[in-house]
Structure 1
């Protein structure tokens, strides 16, 4: 059993070291990673998630945040919405629970659309 573990571990390391044939490169987030590359190429957006900037001008068309329960969608929006307000950008938020309205709605500048509201 131990011999087979050692054998397969060694084989796995050899496979990892082999030259890349094709496909995308993995770029680490930390030092000399993607954030540094984007900033040095002047392609870093002012919108960041977890300290990692989006690619400049890619944030304009649309951002779709999707995932199952517990994947961090709300945390991502909690990080995104203050940045949108800071840069005086615009967003449309569909808030079915009222949580974002309670936290981020500003009566001075925001519009609230409620299809159930009587006028």
Structure 2
């Protein structure tokens, strides 16, 4: 049996810093074995970040469902506000279509050389 993966990971990097990696298509109908997920799964894992002051949001996504991305954006913004967390967005490849919503959840947005924001 192959290991199931999803397009995002949420983890604590240290006592004060968390990281969210969004690497894949955002969809309402999640086929986790193909690297997809939805806002519900994202929100469940977001709540696991404890006692962080900063979240690094790293994105390489072609986009997907605008409604799911908007929900994820609002959840991240509210979580950051409620917990007084700074969010730094980094576009590491592409942030296209609905993935641009997530990038804009950051207090700052940075892009690597040759990356796309569209």
Normalising by structure 2, what TM-score? 0.30
Higher strand fraction: Structure 1 or Structure 2? 2
**Higher gyration radius (CA):** 1
Higher relative contact order (CA 8 A, sep 6+): 2
Higher helix fraction: Structure 1 or Structure 2? 1
